[in-house]
Amino acid sequence: MRSVGLDWAVDPCDRAAVVLEQDADGAFKVATVDSPVRDEDAQRQCTSTQNHVVAVDIPFAWPRSFTEFVSDWAPLDARVKQPPESTEFRYRTTDRFVHEQTTKWPLSVSSNLFALGARQWANVVHEASLGCQMVVTKTCLPETKPYIIEVYPAATLKVFENHENLSISGLSTRIVEVGGQVTEKKYSYKTDESTRQRLVDSLIDVFQLRADDAERKALVGRGKQDHGADALLAALTGLMFLGVMDHWTVREPVGEQLDHARIEGWIFFPEWSVTTSMSKRSDAADRDMRRRNRS
């Protein structure tokens, strides 16, 4: 069983790919940590039959209200529609659901430079004909692997932070002395290497991942390089999507959410289930997912 976490950006140097691979004894190890990641590297991961899932940190589509408005807009046409309400213009159904469940707002793909990364990802999808591998619900899985899913590492981390039995946090507090005054200052893993080191160590410990010193160093990165840590969070979400992490599953769209997800995409993020104990054997996981597809 292999899960690839892909932290995406316009610049290949701001991307990272982390592969988590299952050993014969069922434990997971950090197989590779790569950065930079070129478009062709991403295409290779998304078409490799060795991989079961590729979890990508980038929006797969734009808000429905946004695309419908923009496609019809003409500044000299008096018959054009009124612009959508600001929130619907900026955020997809899945973005709003993530905020409702985790308090985290994903970056807006329609009103932020983040859109350029989404455009670059869409180009990769087009060139490699990956559309048939995109997944928005586990109840309807494609025949072609690896499955390609959208994730949001900040939402995954927030779920971990909110779990009362996990000692995982993307924040830290340190005492700082400046000019004779002592203050307490908060740091985020996004910009602080020491905080990111703690986060990576915690993720490896809690989820019992195998990683040597070189792999840990690559995951942490230097300075403000958070790409490896985000790719690790993405890869873990991919394993939870596959159902091979004890007690963990992912949130799926239901009802009208599913209709929107087919057009706008869907962010998969973790959900803890006390009553669910998943097998870590890849064959059993594959059989279970196929069974649900046929039913």
Instruction: Round to whole Å and give the CA distance between 237 and 49.
Output: 19
The answer to the question of residue 189 being in a domain is no
pLDDT of residue 27: 94
> Which SS3 state, helix, strand or coil, does residue 18 take?
strand
Domain span including residue 27: 2-163+203-294
Give per-residue pLDDT as tens, 250-285.
999 999 999 999 999 999 999 998 765 444 444 445
Measured CA to CA, the distance from residue 46 to residue 36 in angstroms comes to 16
CB < 8 Å & 24+ apart, contacts of 126-133: 127/39, 127/43, 128/43, 128/46, 128/47, 130/43, 130/46, 130/47, 133/46
**In angstroms, rounded to a whole number, what is the distance separating the alpha carbons of residues 282 and 279?**
8
- Contact 4/215 with Cβ under 8 angstroms? no
In Å, the largest CA–CA distance within the chain is 69
36 is a domain residue: yes
Residue 186 lies in a domain: no
Q: What is the tally of helices (H) and strands (E) in the chain?
A: 11, 11
Find the DSSP H helices in the chain: 39-47, 64-72, 86-90, 93-102, 114-128, 153-162, 193-206, 213-220, 227-242, 256-264, 282-294
Segment 99-119 shows an average pLDDT of 96
Task: Tell me: pLDDT of 181 over 90.
Answer: no
Q: How far apart are CA 295 and CA 283, in angstroms?
A: 19
Cross-strand bridge partners of residue 149 = 55
* pLDDT (0 to 100) of residue 44: 98
Residue 21, strand partner residues:
2, 29
pLDDT tens for residues 132-155? 999 999 998 999 999 999 999 999
d(CA 106, CA 58): 10
**How many domains does the structure of the chain reveal?**
1
Cα angle vertex 150, ends 52, 193, to 5°? 95
Terminus-to-terminus CA distance in the chain, angstroms? 24
Residue 288 falls inside a structural domain: yes
**Tens digit of each residue's pLDDT (9 = 90 or more) over 84-96:** 999 999 999 999 9
Over residues 277-294, mean pLDDT: 47
The arithmetic mean of pLDDT across residues 178-202, rounded, is 92
Q: pLDDT band at 295, cuts 50/70/90?
A: very low
- Tell me the HSE value of 163 on the side-chain side, using a 13 A CA sphere: 19
Give the span between the Cα atoms of 243 and 163, in whole angstroms.
Answer: 18
- Asked whether residue 265 is domain-assigned, the answer is yes
Confidence of residue 79 (pLDDT cuts 50, 70, 90): confident
Whether residue 176 lies inside any domain: the answer is no
User: pLDDT above 70 covers what percent of the chain?
Assistant: 93
Residues 272, 110: Cα–Cα separation, whole Å: 31
Cα dihedral 31, 220, 16, 206 sign: positive
> Could you tell me if residue 149 is inside a domain?
yes
Q: Is 193 a domain residue? A: no
In this prediction, residue 281 carries a pLDDT of: 43
Q: Are 257 and 144 in contact (CB under 8 A)?
A: no
* Residue with tokens 């690839």, as numbered in its chain: 4
Query: Is the preceding peptide bond at 36 cis, omega within 30 degrees of 0?
Result: yes
Contact 285, 239 (CB under 8 A): no
pTM of structure: 0.91
